[in-house]
Chain A
Amino acid sequence: MHGDRYQIALIILGITVASLLGFFLYQEMFPEYRIYQNDYIDLEKFRSTYTGEAPPAFAPGIKQIVFEREDKGPASVDRCISCHVAVQIPHFSPMKIAYGPANEISLDAEGFPILEPNENYIFARLDRQIGEIKKDHPEEAEALAKLKTAKVNDQVYDITKVLAMHPLMGKETYPFEFHPLEEFGCTSCHSGNGKGLTTEKAHGPVFDGQYGIEHRGYVPEFIEKDERNDPSFAHVFNHKPDDSLLFQTTPILVGNLIQSSCIQCHSHHLDNVNSLKNSSSASSDVDLFTKNYSQGEQLYFSQSCYACHKIAGLSRGGVGPELTKAGFNYPWYLKESIVWPQADLPTSTMPNFRLDHVELEDLMTFLLAQKGAKKTESEIGYKLSVQNWEAGRKSPFEMAILPYQIDDLRYSMTIFATEGCASCHRLTGFISNTGYSIEKSNPQRPFDDLYREKQWFRRLFPEQSFNEELFGSRIVKTIEANLTDIDKRIVNDVRKNSLLEEIEAAYPHVIDSFYSNFRYASRAKNEEYRNDPKKLKEWQDRVHRILLVYIQEYGLGRLIGPRLNWSGIYRSDEWLMEHFRKPSGHTPRSIMPVFPFDTSKFLALTHMLDVLGKRNRDNLNAVWEHLGFEPELAYQTYCSQCHGNYLQGNGPVSKWIYPIPKNLTSGEFLRNLTKKNAILSITHGVKGTSMPPFGETPADKETRDTSAVLSQENIGKLVDWLYQSLSGARVIKEEEDVPKWSYSPKDVVAELDLEKALWLSKSNPFPQSVEEVFDIVPNRLPNGDKNAYYIKRQYYTPENLTRGEQFFVLNCAYCHGTDADGLGIRAGGMVDAKPRMLTNIDWLNTYDDLFLLRSIKYGVKGTAMTPWGDLTNATQRLQLVMYIRHLSFNKERRTSLFELLYQIFDEAIEKIEKLRMITYPSLAALQREEDSIQQKLSNHALQDDEALTMFQKSLHISREIKTLQEYDQTLLDLKKSLGREQTVYSDLGNSFIAADVDDELWKSYLAFVKLNENRFQLENKNLSINKNYGTSQQRLTALDQLKTLLEAQIARDKDLLVQAKGKLPSNARDDAIDRLHSNMSVYEKLKTQLITEEAKAEILRKQQLSLLQKEKYGTN
Chain B
Amino acid sequence: MSTFQGKPRESWGQYLINLPSMFIRSIFRHNYPNNDVDRSEIVFKNFFLHFHPVKCHKNSLDPFYTLGLGTIATSLFLLLTFTGIVLMFYYIPTEDRAYEIMKDWQDTTPFAMMYRNMHRWSAHMMVLFVFLHMSRVFYTGSYKGMRKFNWVIGVTLMVLTLILSFTGYLLPWDQLAFWAITVGTNIAGYVPNLPGFEYNVNRVMLLASTSVGQDALIRFYVLHVAFLPIVTGTLIGVHFWRVRKDGGLSRPPDKICPDPVRVIQRSDTKESFAPGVKRTYGLMELVRGTCPTVDKGPYNYVFTWPHLLRAELVAFLLTTVLILGLSLIDAPLEEAANPTKPTNPSKAPWYFLGLQEMVAYNAFWGGVAIPMGMVLGLMAIPYLDRNPHGQGYWFHRSRYLAIFFFTLFMTWQGILIIIGTYFRGANWSWIWPWTENFARH
* Residues of A near any B CB (own CB < 8 A): 3, 6, 9-10, 13-14, 16-17, 20-21, 23-24, 28, 31, 62, 73-74, 77, 79, 193, 195-198, 201, 214-218, 240, 243, 246-250, 329-330, 332-333, 336, 343-344
Contacts and interface: CB of A to CB of B under 8 A. Distances in A.
A246 B333 contact: yes
B385 interface: no
A195 B440 contact: no
B209 interface: no
A6 B330 contact: no
Nearest to A250: B335
A21 B435 CA distance: 38
B321 A24 contact: no
B36 interface: no
B436 interface: yes
Interface stretch (B95-103, B182-190, B196-204, B236-244): B95-103
A780 to B, nearest CB: 48
Interface stretch (B22-30, B153-161, B312-320, B363-371): B312-320
A31 B107 contact: yes
A240 B438 CA distance: 10
Contacts of A343: 440
B318 A344 contact: no
Contact of A247 (B106, B111, B439): B106
Given A73-B96, A74-B101, A246 B317 contact: no
A17 B320 contact: yes
B324 A17 contact: yes
Contact of A217 (B325, B327, B335, B436): B436
A576 to B, nearest CB: 39
Contacts of B108: 62, 79, 195, 197
Given A13-B314, A214-B438, A74 B106 contact: no
Given A73-B96, A195-B104, A201-B107, A246 B332 contact: yes
A193 to B, nearest CB: 7
B440 A10 contact: no
A197 B441 CA distance: 26
B100 A10 contact: no
Interface in B81-119: 96-97, 100-101, 103-104, 106-108, 110-111, 114
A14 B317 contact: yes
A215 B440 contact: yes
B436 A197 contact: no
Interface residues of B, number: 40
B32 to A, nearest CB: 16
B310 interface: yes
29 contacts: A10-B314, A13-B318, A17-B317, A17-B324, A24-B111, A24-B324, A74-B96, A74-B101, A77-B104, A79-B108, A195-B103, A195-B106, A195-B107, A196-B103, A196-B107, A198-B107, A201-B107, A214-B438, A215-B438, A218-B435, A247-B106, A247-B330, A247-B332, A248-B332, A248-B335, A249-B335, A329-B441, A336-B440, A343-B440
Nearest to A336: B440
Given A10-B310, A14-B317, A197 B96 contact: no
B332 A344 contact: no
B246 interface: no
Nearest to A24: B114
A1029 to B, nearest CB: 57
A28 B113 CA distance: 10
Given A10-B314, A195-B106, A214-B440, 16 more contacts: A3-B306, A6-B310, A6-B314, A13-B320, A17-B317, A24-B327, A74-B97, A77-B104, A193-B103, A197-B108, A215-B436, A243-B332, A246-B330, A250-B335, A329-B441, A333-B441
A344 B324 contact: no
Q: From DSSP, what is the main secondary structure of chain B's interface residues?
A: helix
Interface string B160-190: 0000000000000000000000000000000
A217 B433 CA distance: 10
Given A6-B311, A20-B325, A247-B333, A13 B436 contact: no
Q: Specify which of B327, B438, B440 lies most central, judged by the most chain A CB atoms within 10 Å of its CB.
A: B440
Contacts of B100: 74, 195
Contacts of B310: 3, 6, 10
Nearest to B98: A74
Given A10-B313, A247-B330, A217 B434 contact: yes
Contacts of B321: 13, 16-17, 20
The 7 closest A-B pairs by CB, nearest first: A197-B107, A217-B435, A13-B317, A20-B324, A215-B436, A74-B100, A246-B330
Given A6-B314, A21-B324, A243-B332, A201 B106 contact: yes
Contacts of B101: 74
B115 to A, nearest CB: 10
B249 interface: no
Contacts of B106: 195-196, 201, 247
A248 B174 CA distance: 10
A248 B441 CA distance: 13
A218 B435 CA distance: 8
Contact of B111 (A28, A73, A250): A28
A198 B107 CA distance: 8
B403 interface: no
Contacts of B438: 214-215
Contacts of A248: 332-335
B331 interface: yes
A307 to B, nearest CB: 24
A336 B332 CA distance: 24
A12 to B, nearest CB: 9
A640 to B, nearest CB: 34
Contacts of B439: 344
Interface string B402-441: 0000000000000000000000001000001011101111
Given A198-B107, A333-B441, A10 B335 contact: no
Contacts of A198: 107
Given A14-B317, A28-B110, A216 B331 contact: no
B314 A9 contact: yes
Interface in B290-326: 306, 310-311, 313-314, 317-318, 320-321, 324-325
A541 B58 CA distance: 91
Nearest to A73: B96
Contacts of A249: 335
A246 B331 contact: yes
A197 B325 CA distance: 23
Contacts of A20: 321, 324-325
A21 B103 CA distance: 23
A247 B101 CA distance: 13
A185 B365 CA distance: 54
A477 to B, nearest CB: 35
Contacts of A215: 436, 438, 440
A677 to B, nearest CB: 42
Contacts of A13: 314, 317-318, 320-321
Nearest to A243: B332
Contacts of B104: 77, 195
Contacts of A332: 440
A431 to B, nearest CB: 45
A217 to B, nearest CB: 4
Contacts of A196: 103, 106-107
A216 B435 contact: yes
A247 B327 CA distance: 15
A74 B440 CA distance: 29
Nearest to B110: A28
B19 to A, nearest CB: 32
Contacts of A73: 96
Nearest to B333: A247
Contacts of A218: 435
Most buried by B among A24, A62, A215, A249: A24
A215 B425 CA distance: 12
A250 B96 CA distance: 17
Contacts of B111: 24, 28
A329 B440 CA distance: 10
